[in-house]
Chains A and B, each alone.
Chain A
Amino acid sequence: MQDQVLLDQILTCHRNEPGGLLPVLRDLQDGLGFVPEESYSAIAEALNISVAEVHGVVSFYHDFRTEPAGACVIQVCQAESCQACGSRELTAHAERRLGVALGETRADGAVTLEPVYCLGNCACSPAIAIDQQSHALVDKARFDALTTQWAQESDT
């Protein structure tokens, strides 16, 4: 199957790289959108580590997911500089507008709303990122304009 081919390619590429586990997981997630648990044993074998170690690393880092995310990932910065510029209100607004709670994927799989702790746009807070593309000075109106296709306006 397709996924196996990708995994093999990635493992060949990083097998001899010192400390190659993170690059492997990163490439796999970039390719598949998540790191399937079924891949752990092949990764462990290729890198000569235990399956528990792979599991430990995947669960430690915020970026890795073991389930696919929504078709679009919207991140709202929750860190101090953005807090100082209204990110708490913006987050509540985003949850209402998108119909999904922070940290969750909407039931229809269209959008995942995630917290992020600083996108490096702090001089122009608050900031969000839509599929890794960041936007700064985001007030409610700008948020609405940027997210029209995902709007759902509910009271979750």
Chain B
Amino acid sequence: MTRRYFLPADTTAGALGADALAEQLQGALHEGETVVRNGSRGAFWLEPLLEVEEGGERIAFGPLDGRQLGELLATDYTQWREHESCLGSVAQLPWFKAQTRLTFKRAGIDDPLCLDGYLAQQGFEGLEHALHLAPEDIVEEVLRSGLRGRGGAAFPAGIKWRTVAEASAEQKYIVCNADEGDSGTFADRLLMEADPYQLIEGMAIAGLAVGATRGYIYLRSEYPRTWEVLHRAIGKAEAAGYLGDNIGNSNRAFHLELRIGAGAYICGEETAMLESLEGKRGMVRAKPPLPALEGLFGQPTVVNNVLTLAAVSTVLADGAEAYAALGMERSKGTLCLQLAGNIKRGGLLEVPFGMSVREVVEQLGGGTRSGRPIKAIQAGGPLGAYLPESAWDTPLDYEAFAGIGGMLGHGGLVVFDDTADMAAQARFAMAFCAEESCGKCTPCRVGSTRGVEVIDKIIAREDPAANMTLLEDLCDTMEHASLCAMGGLTPHPVRSAMTYFPEDFCKDVGEV
């Protein structure tokens, strides 16, 4: 009898004890049994999630601790299903049934570095297809898919690619933005750890489409495990001929290099990232010129988020129409939502655009982990608004979110219960901006420092009415006079906290 155990080697699974469990399991294996360190399926509320495969069936246990694993290992396998931590088949859980997984369809199934496993699950089909297309047809395919950048600004990927493709230059570049600086987001990390070849494939396709022979992945330094996986995946892809001078025996070259950031949030902004890749301080560049025309080392450059590039593999494998058939209006395909903060069932959900925030957070996420009422949901990372209950019926769609003065950004939803102090959150947003500002423009650099001071005064009840007005002015200035979204969007969390939760700033605000 062969039996395979699957235990994720993912960062979060590891942070919850999966490595120790793997060791415990390894020490108790019988003849014919193996342990696979797979990626995570992203149901982080169930991690460490052990799956056991035997006779074509795969059943799951989670969240599992060492004591429970010990109990399982001490009993006969036929009794395992009765164990308190048994979940049955993962695919049958409502949490998974509600999803439509495209980008994450392979996540957590197999060993992320196993090339055969990748190939067995449609891997490199997109690249094979792209190798038979003219570059402009690849761009056309991406355009028709309606795919928009997943890194925050939601700019159509095909249009960016077309600009780079039409530019003439000796050298062009593909840069993958894997900085994932937003709090409450981890989809890039999960994808890179659970299915790294998909990103490599997407970048190679981008290279073919625009005529770029070199690519860089700029990864944040807070993700050491991700670095390890990517580093090995790149090596294996090179050895197998999917990267290098002759990709897929096509006589076309694509070289990929992994670079690591150095702990600066602003380096997620694309031009600051390019400066960083050039070995400089991560200062934001003024646009124009667009990076598509003058990007890395002054050459035409595609800068895309991890999920955007990964999605391209699916688009090329399944066709633009299949992709565009999902989603709503101008938000096509699937949205990779990340449920975080005070939430019972946190993790990655890949759903078609259009579900409401409430459905996702209350039904799939199960409400708060503390069991207390939800007070606010911050959507779109540290520069996103804090949404009050009245906004939770908004469908998850770029335009609908913009309509309520929020943004979807990278798809992170961070839940706060009623113990949250929104003045403290507003203060943090300003302090974070002050700390992470690249320093190039005054409204952001100085304005955010002043912002912290003013909020402190309001909290201390020093002339609150005048200081609230001052804070409003400051937000206006930052919004209108900042060079990039760091200074320009910091007023989002601040203002939303002031507008929707004034009672947290000063009790007598009603009389102000």
Contacts and interface: CB of A to CB of B under 8 A. Distances in A.
Interface of A: 18-23, 25-26, 47, 49, 53, 56-57, 60-64, 79-85, 88, 116-125, 127, 129, 132-137
A62 B224 contact: no
Nearest to B277: A19
Contacts of B224: 132
B228 to A, nearest CB: 11
A84 B182 contact: no
25 contacts: A18-B278, A18-B297, A22-B260, A22-B262, A22-B276, A61-B263, A62-B262, A63-B221, A63-B262, A80-B378, A80-B382, A80-B425, A85-B341, A118-B181, A120-B11, A120-B189, A121-B44, A122-B186, A122-B341, A123-B44, A123-B347, A124-B15, A132-B224, A136-B12, A137-B16
Given A79-B382, A84-B416, 19 more contacts: A22-B279, A23-B259, A53-B280, A61-B261, A62-B262, A62-B263, A62-B264, A82-B183, A118-B185, A120-B185, A122-B338, A123-B348, A124-B15, A124-B16, A124-B44, A125-B346, A129-B222, A134-B12, A136-B16
Interface in B1-50: 11-12, 14-16, 44-45, 47
B281 A123 contact: no
A122 B277 contact: no
Contacts of A137: 16
Contacts of B436: 117
Task: Give chain B's interface residue range (CB within 8 Å of chain A).
Answer: 35 or more
A129 B14 CA distance: 11
A135 B342 contact: no
Contacts of B425: 80, 83
A134 B223 CA distance: 9
B11 A121 contact: yes
A121 B221 CA distance: 14
Given A79-B382, A123-B338, A63 B263 contact: yes
A74 to B, nearest CB: 14
A135 B15 contact: yes
B187 to A, nearest CB: 9
Contacts of A57: 279-281
Contacts of A83: 425, 428
Contact of A124 (B277, B346, B420): B346
Contacts of A81: 183-184, 340-341, 412, 414
Contacts of B226: 120
Contacts of A132: 224
A121 B12 contact: yes
A95 to B, nearest CB: 18
A122 B262 contact: no
A82 B12 CA distance: 14
A53 B280 CA distance: 8
A118 B44 contact: no
Contacts of A23: 259-260
A47 B278 CA distance: 12
B415 interface: yes
B271 to A, nearest CB: 14
Nearest to A61: B262
Interface in B341-355: 341-343, 346-348
Given A47-B279, A61-B264, A123-B186, A80 B16 contact: no
B369 interface: yes
Contacts of B183: 79-82, 117-118, 122
A123 B278 contact: no
A122 B223 CA distance: 13
Contact of B341 (A18, A47, A84, A120): A84
Contacts of A18: 278-279, 297
A21 B280 CA distance: 7
Contact of A123 (B265, B346, B416, B420): B346
A147 B280 CA distance: 37
Nearest to A57: B281
Given A83-B425, A85-B369, A122-B183, A117 B297 contact: no
Given A19-B277, A121-B11, A80 B428 contact: yes
A63 B219 CA distance: 14
CB-CB nearest 5 A-B residue pairs: A123-B346, A79-B183, A21-B279, A61-B262, A62-B263
A22 B180 CA distance: 19
A60 B412 contact: no
B184 A124 contact: no
Nearest to A49: B279
A7 B265 CA distance: 28
B127 interface: no
B68 to A, nearest CB: 16
A122 B184 contact: yes
A125 B44 CA distance: 11
A130 to B, nearest CB: 11
Nearest to B415: A84
Central interface residue in B15, B280, B348, B414, by most chain A CB within 10 Å: B15
A124 B47 contact: yes
